[in-house]
Amino acid sequence: MAAILPLTMPKFGLAMTEGMVAAWQKQPGETIRQGEEIADIETSKITSAYESPVSGKLRRQVLEAGTMAPVGALIGVVADDAVPDAEIDAFIADFQSRFAASQAEAGAEAAGPERVQTAQGTAQYLAAGPAEAPVILFIHGFGGDLNNWMFLQPALAENFRTIALDLPGHGGSTKQVPAPDAAGLAGFVLAAMDALGIPAAHLVGHSMGGAVALAMARANAERVLSLSLISPAGLGVEINRGYIEGFIEARRGKHLTPLLQSLFADPTLVGQDMVETVLRYKRLDGVEAALRAIASAQFPEGRQAASLRAVLDTPRTPAQVIWGMRDAIIPAAHAENLPAHVKVTLFDAAGHMAQMERPADTAERIASLAGGGI
């Protein structure tokens, strides 16, 4: 039977409610494969490629480039040549009327970040997924926050209880950082796990958050089910000193923009809203002092202070390393010469933010190590 498949506005992150088809990469009549980039979707935070969830022939572009639509809205239709145009028209009409009805019912109930008091101060986190499922805990990098996981947290929340945490000095967590080294931040993450009643979790650490995850595995291995490290700190000495110092100093958009662009292989991903969001974070009382304390504890003189490579020597905790080959902050060469039991994934077309530039592939690898699918 000839099936008609809808392409709908994807949801990049839990906060996304609508998006715009910035540009179509495929024209009606072209054959598309699952996983192929078919359109650029622009949200208030970022522009990202939409990878087709299905294979087949693109028959219609329902939304023109430049049109905003809510998440779940019909943007295109895939069907093979056997399906007559009239059937596709009927499919679109039916989808639109049912979608309009469901939109009217849904209302506004998007879950936002929550805060919990821990033994080490307030922790902000964003939770998603079934409460009884195994826990995946995301730990962002220097200057980042829980929004860094927006593109892959929803996918992983299908089968896992996912918690994206703000480290101290970051996001909505306490700006007091009494112990700014990797071990100190690891202590904060453990305190947050205690407060949330999480005995053990699969850890996903990005950049400095990777070093924090390694420090947790070193000190409290029984609480770490697996380690997925994305462009992690802790595996070598080099780090982009200009980025760290520039990020602390930058108070204006024009200074911050090129720094944020250097995080990505594709600098056009950095929109004005992303820059403004980071500037707003940096203006909060206590943030600059916290960033300085963390940088001088972990990256003094532009070198990484802590070597945590030895944590990966024993195969006790399943571990993998994911790196963008075009990482301009921490060189991907740090993924070389790791023990054989550590799976290494290198992405050609990604920089320091593989979780944002290759979210589907990264999520798939995290789920696979954590023992489940997406």
Q: Which is nearer to another protein, 81 or 276 (CB)?
A: 276
Q: Which is nearer to another protein, 89 or 273 (CB)?
A: 273
285, 310, 340, 373: residue in contact with another protein (rule CB under 8 A)? 285
Determine the size of the site formed for another protein (CB under 8 A): 11
Told to check if 71 binds another protein by CB under 8 A, we report: no
| Half-sphere exposure at residue 135, Cβ-oriented, CA atoms within 13 angstroms | 20
5, 284, 305, 325: residue in contact with another protein (rule CB under 8 A)? 284
What binding mask, one character per residue, do residues 240-269 give for another protein by CB under 8 A, x or -? -----------xxx----------------
DSSP labels for 182-219? HHHHHHHHHHHHHHHT-S-EEEEEETHHHHHHHHHHHH
- Cα 4 to Cα 35, 50, 180, 293, distances in angstroms: 18, 19, 54, 56
Q: Which is nearer to another protein, 108 or 131 (CB)?
A: 108
* Residues near 197 by beta carbon (within 8 Å), at least 6 away in sequence: none
Q: Which is nearer to another protein, 124 or 231 (CB)?
A: 124
Q: Which is nearer to another protein, 99 or 281 (CB)?
A: 281
Provide the minimum distance between the beta carbon of 276 and another protein in the complex, in angstroms, as a whole number: 9
Q: Which is nearer to another protein, 134 or 271 (CB)?
A: 271
What phi and psi, each to the nearest 5 degrees, are found at residue 39? -160, 160
d(CA 205, CA 220): 16
d(CA 191, CA 178): 14
- Cα 331 to Cα 58, 204, 327, 335, 336, distances in angstroms: 39, 19, 6, 8, 10
Q: Which is nearer to another protein, 272 or 307 (CB)?
A: 272
Taking phi over 0 as left and psi of -120 to 50 as alpha, with beta for the rest, 131 belongs to alpha
Element (H, E) at 273: helix 272-283
Q: Between residue 330 and residue 349, which ones bind another protein under the rule CB under 8 A?
A: none
280, 310, 340, 348: residue in contact with another protein (rule CB under 8 A)? 280
Q: How many residues does the chain have?
A: 374
d(CA 50, CA 38): 6
31, 272, 307, 314: residue in contact with another protein (rule CB under 8 A)? 272
Element (H, E) at 206: strand 201-206
- DSSP code of 134? P
What binding mask, one character per residue, do residues 137-176 give for another protein by CB under 8 A, x or -? -----------------------------------x--x-
d(CA 321, CA 182): 18
Q: Which among 18-26, 241-249, 282-290, 300-308 is the span making contact with another protein, rule CB under 8 A?
A: 282-290
Provide the minimum distance between the beta carbon of 157 and another protein in the complex, in angstroms, as a whole number: 22
Provide the minimum distance between the beta carbon of 284 and another protein in the complex, in angstroms, as a whole number: 5
Q: Which is nearer to another protein, 252 or 337 (CB)?
A: 252
Told to check if 289 binds another protein by CB under 8 A, we report: no
As a whole number of Å, the CA-based R_g of the chain is 21
Told to check if 283 binds another protein by CB under 8 A, we report: yes
Binding stretches for another protein (CB under 8 A)? 172, 175, 251-253, 272, 280, 283-286
